[in-house]
Structure 1
Amino acid sequence: MTTAGTDLKIPSLPGLGTTWYERGPRYWLRRTLGAVLWLLVLAFCCYVALVLYGSFRGALPPTVRTVWDGVQVAASVVALAWGWRVQRRDHRRKLLDPPAPDEFRAAKRDESRRSVRLALAGRVLWLLAAPVIPALAAWGAGWCAAAFTVREYPSEVGARRRLATG
């Protein structure tokens, strides 16, 4: 896709294609579908977290179970807010120095490779984290909610700046 009246090529961004340039209905549909997909993945992760926590919780005496559940609720509320705050700070930092489209693509590729390795190594950690897993899931929920409720992604800002400089 090229801009009107010029031969400047609009870069395609991962997940958004070239729809980010005009921000029309297709853009918002892609953003909404991406957020819904992540919401489904997050819901599944929270379900797994609660099942693992339930297996740990069943081994506790009734009095300790009640106290521990209260601690988990408080920790989850704090973790939800903390995850939101971490993501918003990171977003603000990235908006100050947004990546160019090529840099963004390379960073996403590296992040994907790392996440696969961490997922494989993290299976044992999930079992060890069962006592506090609801708080970890709440942190992830806060982080994801903050990531998808921004007006504009840093990759879009970087691509717009790149187009402006030619």
Structure 2
Amino acid sequence: MMNKILTRTTALTLAVLAAGCVTSAPEPQAPALPKVAPEQRLAAVEAAAGQDDKELAVQPLRDPQVEDLREAASGARARRDYAAAAAALNQALLIVADDPAVLQERAEVALLQSEFERAETLARRAYDLGSQVGPLCRRHWATIEQSRLARGETENAGSAQAQIAACTVPGINRM
């Protein structure tokens, strides 16, 4: 009898130990995101902005110091020196923290630096502070769309894509 209990206990112990050695199925991996260069993402943003002669686009007066910093950032972007572009725009934002155009330019540089969450945050803030229509509005939403696509949030990117079309309002047709 004691021998039977010992045999069963040993068998049970071996079964438990064997079960501990079984490996579980590997976790399913998320599908790989398509490899898109940051420059291609920015090109999509610029294409979405477009320029329609029939559309009303308002350009505010600019602080000369801010304009110089924006030009420096533009030159740095052309040289692909995205860190210098970001630094110039950050300095401009210290002067005019709530300028939607400067915020958008900084968002685009963040996109080029593959800082996708920051790009979306800046573009969203620029949209909230600026005009809800026109080319700048489309750039905001295109930046948000590209940021979401880069992070694999395709469903959310689709909602941003829908907002791009809502940014176009034709100008007044005068006779």
Q: Same fold (TM over 0.5)?
A: no
TM-score, length basis structure 1: 0.28
Find the structure with the greater CA-based Rg: 2
TM-score, length basis structure 2: 0.26
In terms of fraction of residues, the more helix-rich structure is 1
Larger RCO, structures 1/2 (Cα 8 Å, 6+ apart): 1
